[in-house]
Structure 1
Amino acid sequence: MSTSLIPFLEMNGNANEAIDFYEKALDAKVVSKRLGDVPGNPKSLLTPEQKNRVSFAVLKIGESELQLTDHFTGSSYQKGTLMTLVVQTPDKEKAEQYFEALKEGGHVNEPLQASFFSPAYGIVTDKFGVTFRILAKGRQ
């Protein structure tokens, strides 16, 4: 597996509708994970609506990949910030290198750190205003 650049749509609550649409319109093959299924704090109470929102979805369209979320990560949604780019690599050190380079003159939205789905994951907006999700593929 090599490093790849993947578009990431932040849907602000209508990801399920978008997934259904792209599945039909683009013959997308869908794998999704609902927010209520994400490992987390058992004391955290999710409303039934929140449990049905999409935490993360991958749509395979031919050889390409499109990722979506309902933007439920705790950061604030702003209209006009619908798309970010995912830089996915199998190499944790390469993810760290990308993150460090992109944050020069930019802004760290979410520090690069281990998560339940990746040994290195973070979000950074570069000096040009482009937001990247840096992801080392694989579990911690």
Structure 2
Amino acid sequence: MHVTPYLTYDGTAEQAFQHYARVLGGKIELLTRYGEAPAGSGCDDLSEADQRKVMHVSLSGKDFMLMASDANALYPYEGVKGISVSLNLESANEAERVFAGLAEGGKITMPLQATFWAESFGCVTDAWGVPWMINVPKQG
């Protein structure tokens, strides 16, 4: 089994995923808009603005996959609640780079630091309201 976070955005999924591709080193494998859905699929009555929004996007990297879509008039945006995307990285240097990239335009909620369970751990909410936990496990 492989668990894949599926995020929802308020019209900014494409922008967020382009940023994540740069920061996390992944590749956008698929990006489909509501306006590309076949006739009769339930998207026909969406506004022109909603038709341009992302219906599905997937980003894959060496050991991860993220997926997302934009909310629309049928499924309004409710924000990200009660969850964080947790990244386990191999080195403190990589954690610092990823943490800084995710913090661009966002808010650091816990600076990267050594903890009793991790070589380095920190929390940040990115510019799109997604909470992230960055962790480098202690070795040995």
- Structure ranking higher in strand proportion: 1
Larger Cα-atom Rg? 2
